[in-house]
Amino acid sequence: MNIYTHQRCLDHDTGAGHPEHAGRLAAILDALRTEFADALTWCEAPLGDEAQVGRAHVPAFIDLLKRNAPAHGLIRVDADTVMSPASLEASYRASGALCAAVDAAVLRNERGFCAVRPPGHHSTGNEAMGFCLFNHVAVAAHHALAAHGCARISIVDFDVHHGNGTQDIFENEPRVQFVSSHQSPLYPGTGRASERGVGNIVNGELRPGSGSDAFCALWSSTLLPAVDAFAPELIIISAGFDAHRLDPLADLNLDAADFAWITTELVRLAERHAHGRIVSTLEGGYSLAALRESSVAHVRAMMRCHRLPD
């Protein structure tokens, strides 16, 4: 199991009091090193190149981020999205981590978790928002299409917030399925079940206060069968852990066992349809205790093999 990360992802500074801070990633890295010791392969996240990032984002947007990247201090891209001197490289490293993880999955059947920040799933093709600059899962899916000729890719998002950017980028791309569970109503206000794209978008809404029973029922009845029917050749997970009951920014009541369960189910689908090819990246999650236990549960589930007989 590969873990992709980079110091620049820790250096990305969002300022005092911002919920998406470097301590989130530090807590995850410490938990994974403590829990798994030498059982993981630690990989330095490479820089995503311009061609990779440019498949998901329009040139004017990339140029805007480059022009506004500060040499010192902080700037706000929007009300809650911040750039520091390290932020642009951190974003390129995060996107590069996902592309490297896709390469390892497709070419060598290796699984990977990208312990990176800033997160990405709110960034559209031409707009940064919701703590996100580049949309790393979108960059990775486009890379799988272009570099590896994948014909069917499922992006699965269980962050408590809807991945509006990912949906925006792929809503007219039938080769990429986007499947999401999220609290509704909640930021960013998208993700209705009626939003279907070209038949490739599957949204599942969870009411505030929902817990394990509602989460498992939604995935078992609707979302997992949709992934199964799509029969993806690669699964990419947007792993947000902010649906945890301890998270301060939302109102769902999941725990680490729920993240272990959904990860196990996705691994089984990857084994059934994609030769086990599955990669994951960190999105949200703002309780350090929840991040530690949830990331350990997620990675442990990804490490287990559930290959079905041929």
The SS3 assignment for 263 reads helix
Q: Catalytic site residue 136?
A: no
Contact present, 12 and 22 (Cβ < 8 Å): yes
β 82-83/75-76 pair status: antiparallel
Q: In the chain, where does DSSP find H-type helix?
A: 7-11, 22-36, 50-54, 59-68, 87-108, 136-148, 164-170, 212-218, 224-230, 256-273, 288-303
Contact present, 3 and 115 (Cβ < 8 Å): yes
| Catalytic residue chosen out of the listed positions 122, 136, 244, 273 | 122
N-terminal to C-terminal alpha carbon distance within the chain: 23
Taking residue 178's Cβ as centre, other Cβ atoms within 10 Å add up to 29
214-to-181, 190, 249, 275 alpha-carbon distances in Å = 11, 20, 19, 30
DSSP string computed for 201-249: EEEEEE-TT-BHHHHHHHIIIIIHHHHHHH--SEEEEEE--TTBTT-TT
Question: Which residues, at least 6 apart from 216, have a Cβ–Cβ distance to it below 8 Å?
Answer: 258, 261
Tell which phi-psi region holds residue 148, choosing left (phi > 0), alpha (psi between -120 and 50) or beta.
Answer: alpha
Taking residue 75's Cβ as centre, other Cβ atoms within 10 Å add up to 12
Contact present, 44 and 9 (Cβ < 8 Å): no
Active site residues: 122
